[in-house]
Amino acid sequence: MLIFETVINRYLALDPEMLGKLKAFDGKVIKIELTVINKTIYMLPAETGIQILTEFEGDVDTVLRGTPLSLFKMGLASNAASLLLKGEVEISGDTRLGHQFKNIFNQMDIDWSEPLAEIVGDGLAFQLQQTGRKLTGWSQHTVSSFSNSVSEYLQEESRDVVTETELNIFNDAVDQLRNDVDRLQQKIQSLSAK
């Protein structure tokens, strides 16, 4: 576990603000139950980093339970609600603490230029960072464009999915019909009472 702990803390140190954010979790214990492989680890975050233990005798604040893959997906997801609703990951105990702890990792802002410069030199590190930014921008634009194209095709061309305007019109018509039925029912009850 010491190697795993070292790797995690070195990764966290890449974001200069991360250790300060972990200070808020000082004294808390997060138990992670890895199903399928039947392993349990305990994470004790503090301002100095995260201590990882395989055994812990005290009380835990939050328990995260799931397969290693599900927990990894939860770590990457900006909104873990779908994994929780599907039951892939379970959170018990102080669920708010579990969500706050996960959100800290989502907020990581790593400046890769310094670690890259130590490995490949300043010039190449700068070029790699610029290329990475361009690729990230291009991939985000491509995903957004593809998503919009598929949405437009399904709504306008194939007519498999209704547009938001059509859905609103339908919902308004259902509401109107419901109101008309309620009024008719009241009128029938009124007439039958006479």
For residue range 115-159, list pLDDT tens digits in order.
666 677 777 767 777 787 787 778 777 877 777 777 777 767 776
Q: Which of 24-28, 29-33, 58-62, 89-93 has the lowest mean pLDDT?
A: 89-93
Read off the pLDDT of each residue in 1-24 and give the average, rounded to a whole number.
Answer: 81
pLDDT of residue 8 exceeding 90, the answer is no
Is residue 80 very low, low, confident or very high in pLDDT (cuts 50, 70, 90)? low
pLDDT of residue 42 exceeding 90, the answer is yes
Token pair in block for residue 181: 């039925």
Structure confidence by residue, pLDDT tens digits, 156-194: 777 666 777 887 888 888 889 999 999 999 999 998 887
> Which pLDDT value is given to residue 12?
80
Domains of the chain, residue spans: 2-106, 162-194
Token pair in block for residue 110: 């790593």
CA atoms within 13 A on the CB side of 103: 11
pTM above 0.75, yes or no: no
Side chain identity, residue 31: K
In the numeric block, the tokens 């007519």 are attached to 159
Query: For domain 2-106, which architecture applies?
Result: 2-Layer Sandwich (3.30)
Please spell the DSSP secondary structure of 86-151, one letter per residue: HTSEEEEESHHHHHHHHHHHHT----THHHHHHHH-HHHHHHHHHHHHHHHHHHHHHHHHHHHHHH
**Beta carbons within 8 Å of 68's beta carbon, 6+ residues apart:** 34, 36, 37
- Burial class (CB within 10 angstroms; exposed 0-12, middle 13-18, buried 19+) of 84: middle
Q: By C-alpha distance, which of 47, 4, 41 is closest to 24?
A: 47
**Beta carbons within 8 Å of 72's beta carbon, 6+ residues apart:** none
Q: By C-alpha distance, which of 92, 131, 97 is closest to 112?
A: 131
